[in-house]
Amino acid sequence: MSGPLKGLRVIDAATLFAGPMAGTLLGDFGAEVIKVEHPRGDPVRNHGYQKNGINLWWKMLARNKRTVTCNMSTARGQELMRRLVETADVLIENFRPGTLERWNLDPKDLMNLNPGLVIARVTGFGQVGPYMERPGFGTLAESMSGFAAITGEVDGPPVLPPFGLADGISALALANAIQMCLYNRDARGGSGQIIDLAIIEPILSILGPQPIWYDQLGVVQERTGNRSVNNAPRNTYQTRDKHWVAISTSAHNVAERVMKLVGHPEVISEPWFETGRGRAQHGDQLDVMVGSWIGDRDLDDVVEQFEKASAAVAPVYDIADIFEDPQYKALDSITTIDDEDLGPIRMQNLMFRLSATPGAIKWGGRGIGADNKAVYGELGIDTEELAELSDLGAV
């Protein structure tokens, strides 16, 4: 099966994470994604671990993409990009505002060449405003969005995630925005359009009711560690055999089941127990009750007892645990592909399953310029001209 986006051509000219991950998501479900790199290679090729000189992060992030090189700061490189864009449905870029314009690749001009083109512009702070020209990364968005301010222990510093959280959220939002534009173009007779995505915004959007709380009540949410201000018990607890589990009681009936299970049904009749907010205000008391019960038992027993009681619990996993978990195995969440450089490799599978057009991982990230000959050949550029472009530093 080729996926629901078969026939869609995407030019991924973005670097690092948010834009390229959106391209990966589209490629997973059948889009033809052409990854355009500077001839020196995408920065991700130098991020993280390598094996036998092969970057492993690149294998995941650039999967399902044909890779070509193009130096867009050169006149011949700009000509190549215009020719590529004429054949495309989508262009993804994450250069600072004004960069494409400086390279004679103004989005308005590109859309004159290809009126149906969707141009996805990803920056840290957007295309307008006093910060528009600042360099922007996901870490800055995690800081400025309010995420870091509410993450960490009560008396500790703000905590940043050890992975690209804001970038990943932005990638999901961008893939969605691209498909909205394509639907408007193809199903409603619309034209191409430009998407302006600032990485500081999608993560702000998922942080819940903080803005309306502040607007209406002046409430500024503070750090609460693993606890929630909305319900309790909700925390991580250590088992007798030194494993950790997390529990959640967002639903009132689940909170009742947990307290009955841990031997404290008497608290259920307390007036404060009736609301999640009331339970959260008694988090210390509930944590002692739940933590003592869990601390007297091994992990397997805790999980078994919670499952019997229909109460929500999960072990705190690292990646080694994920590889061995039977539920992840049943879902094939970590799947194996045959890589041209490394042989069998395992990575995250597609995010979801579609019954009729499920998509697939066809290959891992390829070498620099691996598809120059094929892709540029489709534009009528022969081997001799390609060699000339290489000599000029355009590819």
* Peptide bond connecting 233 to the previous residue in cis, omega within 30 degrees of 0: yes
- Residue 215 falls in the annotated catalytic set: no
Give dist(CA 29, CA 176) in Å, integer: 13
Q: Which of 28, 89, 167, 371 is catalytic?
A: 167
- Asked if 134 and 198 count as a contact pair (C-beta separation under 8 A), the reply is no
Residue 68 φ then ψ, to 5°: -130, 160
Amino acid at 70: C
Which class for 55: exposed (0-12), middle (13-18), buried (19 or more C-beta within 10 A)?
buried
Contacts (Cβ under 8 Å, ≥6 apart) of 283: 227, 232, 233, 234, 235
Nearest to 51 by CA among 318, 344, 246, 341: 341
Q: Which DSSP state fits 333?
A: -
**Active site (catalytic) residues:** 167
